[in-house]
C-alpha cells in the first residue's frame, strides 16, 4: 500500500472572535508547510487489536488517529473498515513535533480519514469527511480540505480557501510541550478580548505576507501572551521578525533569501 503525507501548518494569525457552546470561536489564516510532514502507511499485522506504529508519547486510545477511526466507524458502520483495521496497523513516521502548534495530530487524523475513504471506496465527500474529522479536533477540517492557505473560522469547521502565493517559512520549535486547553483557559481568565468585525474583515482579506509585514507576534496571535505566561521558558526564544503558531510552542518567520 502506498504512503500518504500529512503536512504541518502554521497560523499566520489567530484571533478570538467570541464564544459558542463552551468553545472559543476564532478567525485564523492557516497555511500548509508542505516540506514538514508525517508519513502514514497501512501495514499488515497479526494481532486483531487496533494498532499504531510510531513514536508517540500517548496511548493508542488517546491518539488522534484512533479517535478518527472511532468517528469514521460511527458515521459509516463499515464492516470493511473494521476488517481493514483488524488486518492492518497504521504506521506513522513522525517528523512534526507534538504539542508544538503545527497541527501534527490533526493532520495525521485527517490523512487517516482520507486514506480509509480512498482505500475502501467509502465515497465520502469532503464536507462529510470534515464533519467526521471535526469530532476529533478543531483543526482536522482544514487538513481534510487540503488548501495551501485558508481562512478558518467558527470553531474550526468553516474552511475557506485563500488564494495567495505559498510562503517559504523557517520554523523553530523549542522543546516545550504546550497544553492547548491550558492556554485557552489562561486567555479566557486573563486576556479575553474579541476581534472586531471591522478588523476581522481586514485580516480575512489580507495576504499572509502583508500580515507578517504589518503585524508583530503578539498582535497577530491572541494566544501568544497567555502561552508565555504559562510557559515562561518560551521567553528566551522570542525574536524580532518571528511569529507564534497556534497555542505554541513553535515560532516561524519568512526564510531569508539564500
φ, ψ of residue 99 in degrees (nearest 5):
55, 40
Residues 121, 3: contact at Cβ < 8 Å? no
Query: Exposure of 75 by Cβ count < 10 A (0-12 exposed, 13-18 middle, 19+ buried)?
Result: middle
9, 15, 67, 114: which is the annotated catalytic residue?
9
Q: How far is the C-alpha of 155 from the C-alpha of 151, rounded, in Å?
A: 12
Residues 66, 81: contact at Cβ < 8 Å? no
> Residue 116 CB: number of other CB atoms within 10 A?
26
Would you call 193 a catalytic residue per the annotation? no
94, 139, 163, 193: which is the annotated catalytic residue?
139
Would you call 9 a catalytic residue per the annotation? yes
Residues 51, 97: contact at Cβ < 8 Å? no
List, by residue number, the catalytic residues. Answer: 9, 139
Amino acid at each position: 500500500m502506498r504512503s500518504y503525507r500529512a503536512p504541518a501548518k502554521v497560523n499566520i494569525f489567530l484571533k478570538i472572535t467570541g464564544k459558542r457552546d463552551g468553545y472559543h470561536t476564532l478567525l485564523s489564516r492557516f497555511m500548509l508547510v508542505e516540506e514538514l510532514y508525517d508519513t502514514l502507511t497501512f501495514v499488515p499485522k497479526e494481532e486483531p487489536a487496533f494498532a499504531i506504529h510510531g513514536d508517540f508519547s500517548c496511548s493508542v486510545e488517546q491518539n488522534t488517529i484512533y479517535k478518527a477511526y472511532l468517528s469514521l466507524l460511527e458515521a459509516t458502520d463499515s464492516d470493511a473498515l473494521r476488517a481493514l483495521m483488524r488486518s492492518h496497523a497504521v504506521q506513522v513516521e513522525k517528523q512534526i513535533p507534538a504539542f508544538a502548534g503545527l497541527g501534527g495530530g490533526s493532520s495525521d487524523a485527517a490523512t487517516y480519514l482520507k486514506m480509509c475513504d480512498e482505500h475502501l471506496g467509502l465515497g465520502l465527500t469532503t464536507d462529510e469527511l470534515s464533519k467526521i474529522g471535526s469530532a476529533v479536533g478543531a483543526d482536522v477540517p482544514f487538513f481534510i480540505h487540503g488548501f495551501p492557505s485558508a481562512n478558518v473560522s467558527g470553531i474550526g469547521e468553516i474552511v475557506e480557501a485563500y488564494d495567495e502565493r505559498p510562503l517559504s517559512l523557517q520554523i523553530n520549535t523549542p522543546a516545550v510541550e504546550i497544553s492547548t486547553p491550558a492556554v485557552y483557559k489562561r486567555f479566557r481568565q486573563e486576556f479575553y478580548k474579541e476581534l472586531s468585525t471591522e478588523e476581522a474583515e481586514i485580516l480575512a482579506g489580507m495576504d499572509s505576507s502583508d500580515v507578517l509585514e504589518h503585524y508583530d507576534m503578539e498582535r497577530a496571535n491572541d494566544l501568544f501572551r497567555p502561552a508565555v505566561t504559562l510557559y515562561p521558558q518560551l521567553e528566551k526564544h522570542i525574536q524580532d521578525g518571528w511569529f507564534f503558531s497556534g497555542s505554541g510552542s513553535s515560532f516561524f518567520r519568512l526564510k531569508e533569501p539564500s
